[in-house]
Amino acid sequence: MVSFRFPKKERLSRRLLWDRVFTEGKQLKAYPLLLYYLKAPLPEPVAAQAGFAVPKRAIRKAVARNRIKRLMREAYRHEKQVVFNNSFGSYALVFLYLGKETPDFQQISGAMKTLLKKLVTHEEAHEA
């Protein structure tokens, strides 16, 4: 059974790995989120490590950027079992917020669910 927690070992914190996700990784989009992902060996024994970013240029106020990141982490925490139960290796994930205004949880949750399902189906297609 997958835990609904989001412990530190599941957070993408290594700068080199974070940069590799953008340079070598693939992307999926479900507005207002963009997912960069890379199949890579992780330092911790987990199926995925996730990072979250909101561009300062789009959302000027730090309070709003932090709120969006909290919403994204919460939505990921609820939906991560999709990735963990169907994992074909370990992944580094980076979620970017593309919108211009502060969203509500339903928008973020719906986009997160769509992105994670796309990720699983996309990787199943490449495995076959």
**27-65: pLDDT as tens digits:** 999 999 999 999 988 888 888 899 999 999 999 999 999
Average pLDDT of every residue of the chain: 91
Residue 25 pLDDT grade (very low, low, confident, very high; cuts 50, 70, 90)? very high
The amino acid at residue 35 is: L
Cis peptide bond prior to 32, omega within 30° of 0: yes
The whole-number pLDDT of residue 47 equals 84
Instruction: Kindly list the structural domains of the chain, giving each domain's residue range(s) and its CATH number in brackets, ordered by start.
Output: 8-127 (3.30.230.10)
For the chain, the distance separating the N- and C-terminal CA atoms, rounded to the nearest angstrom, is 26
Residue 14's closest CA among 56, 55, 42?
A: 42
106: which residues sit within 8 A by CB, 6+ positions away?
none
